[in-house]
């Protein structure tokens, strides 16, 4: 009897030992898979997880037939980065004060962003009723959406005289104004623009919708004026079914923005913030920088003005 009991005990012990060995083997196999290396660069592993993380953060949809090539290229870029990082550590570049400050700044931004994302994770997405209400509140963007084909004359604000103002009010076409500007040797830029009501500020949309074809309107933009004439208007209505994803995303982003502002307001209210010294302009120009700025100001200013003139009311 004792022998039988002893034999059973030995069998149980052997089974337990076998189970533990199997578990360890399986666990070890999982751990090996979890940390599967794609390459080793001077002793530093590059893993599948790193590769997947890079692909996820790139936010690029790669066609199935190109995934293998893209993965190889990404692996080579990770190897290059590891080589550069390794050499930088050898040369103690990572101990450079400017580099250390940049690392701390990046770390701070990442942690702060992660906290906000965690706080906003419970933020509910807009309901179908909320989306429908927004759709009905903005017919000019959706159910009554229009595309405006416009011509523009863009000129400096200083040239907008009372005489020109009267001419614009009496002119029947943009060409009349262009001829007058040419006759008086005033610089201007011609431009054409096709925009839908979705792409323009609501204030501008309301003005354009009240205008007739060929009617002129003046829009002020900083230190320049834009004379706008409507060439053609097309009706391009959008249904609720088509607009629903866009509206949903917009409302969700808006809700997240408000929630982020509320959370920051709460943190500020609970925090003890002391401003120790008044802010000073750390970029105040010295005599040397003033001289250098003066030497390049005319050309860069002219370029900026030219670029801005070409933008027309698109800048709005």
Looking at the structure, do residues 23 and 93 belong to the same domain, yes or no? Answer: yes
CA distance 229 to 217: 7
Looking at the structure, do residues 99 and 191 belong to the same domain, yes or no? Answer: no
Q: For residue 300, tell me if it sits in a domain.
A: no
Residue with tokens 């009897």: 1
> Residue 253's domain spans which residues?
240-269
Q: For residue 304, tell me if it sits in a domain.
A: no
Looking at the structure, do residues 152 and 108 belong to the same domain, yes or no? Answer: no
DSSP letter for 138, please.
-
pLDDT score recorded for residue 283: 55
Q: For residue 44, tell me if it sits in a domain.
A: yes
* C-beta of residue 187 within 8 angstroms of C-beta of residue 156: yes
For the record, the structure tokens of 303 come out as 């370029």
CA distance 198 to 52: 37
Q: For residue 68, tell me if it sits in a domain.
A: yes
Task: List, for residues 30-60, the tens digit of each pLDDT value.
Answer: 444 445 889 999 998 999 898 888 888 877 7
Angle between helices 162-170 and 174-183 (to 10 degrees): 150
pLDDT score recorded for residue 316: 33
Looking at the structure, do residues 96 and 162 belong to the same domain, yes or no? Answer: no
Residue 223 has pLDDT above 60, yes or no: yes
Which residues pair with residue 217 across a beta bridge? 228
Looking at the structure, do residues 19 and 84 belong to the same domain, yes or no? Answer: yes
CATH number of the domain within which 176 lies: 3.10.50
Q: For residue 39, tell me if it sits in a domain.
A: yes
Domain count for the chain: 3
pLDDT score recorded for residue 160: 87
Binned at pLDDT 50, 70 and 90, residue 241 comes out as: very high
Binned at pLDDT 50, 70 and 90, residue 108 comes out as: very high
H/E segment holding residue 296: helix 287-311
Looking at the structure, do residues 250 and 227 belong to the same domain, yes or no? Answer: no
pLDDT score recorded for residue 35: 52
pLDDT score recorded for residue 80: 94
Give the chain's end-to-end CA distance (angstroms, integer). 97
Binned at pLDDT 50, 70 and 90, residue 116 comes out as: very high
Residue 115 has pLDDT above 70, yes or no: yes
H/E segment holding residue 168: helix 162-170
More confident site: 213 or 252: 252
Instruction: Tell me the pLDDT of the chain averaged across its residues.
Output: 79
Residue 237 has pLDDT above 90, yes or no: yes
Find, among 258, 246, 244, the residue nearest to 123 by Cα. 258
Q: For residue 186, tell me if it sits in a domain.
A: yes
């Amino acid at each position: 009897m004792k022998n039988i009991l002893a034999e059973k005990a030995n069998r149980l012990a052997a089974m337990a030992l076998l189970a533990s060995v199997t578990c360890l083997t399986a666990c070890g196999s999982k751990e090996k898979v979890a940390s599967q290396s794609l390459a080793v660069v001077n002793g530093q592993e590059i893993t599948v997880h790193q590769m997947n993380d890079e692909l996820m953060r790139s936010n690029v949809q790669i066609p199935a037939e190109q995934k293998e090539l893209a993965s190889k290229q990404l692996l080579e870029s990770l190897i290059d980065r590891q080589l550069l990082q390794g050499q930088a550590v050898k040369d103690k570049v990572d101990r450079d004060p400017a580099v250390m400050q940049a690392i701390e700044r990046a770390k701070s931004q990442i942690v702060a962003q992660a906290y906000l994302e965690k706080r906003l994770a419970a933020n509910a997405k807009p309901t179908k009723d909320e989306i429908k209400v927004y759709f009905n509140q903005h017919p000019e963007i959706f159910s009554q959406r229009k595309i405006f084909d416009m011509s523009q004359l863009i000129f400096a604000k200083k040239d907008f005289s009372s005489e020109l103002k009267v001419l614009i009010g009496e002119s029947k076409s943009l060409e009349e104004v262009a001829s007058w500007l040419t006759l008086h040797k005033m610089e201007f830029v011609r431009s054409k623009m096709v925009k839908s009501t979705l792409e323009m500020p609501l204030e501008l949309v309301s003005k354009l919708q009240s205008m007739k074809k060929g009617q002129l309107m003046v829009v002020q933009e900083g230190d320049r004026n834009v004379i706008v004439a409507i060439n053609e208007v097309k009706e391009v209505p959008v249904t609720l079914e088509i607009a629903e994803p866009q509206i949903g995303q917009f409302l969700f982003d808006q809700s997240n923005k408000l929630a982020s502002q509320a959370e920051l307001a709460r943190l500020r209210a609970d925090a003890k913030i002391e401003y120790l010294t008044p802010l000073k302009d750390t970029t105040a120009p010295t005599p040397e920088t003033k001289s250098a700025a003066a030497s390049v100001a005319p050309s860069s200013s002219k370029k900026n003005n030219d670029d801005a003139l070409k933008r027309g009311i698109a800048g709005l």
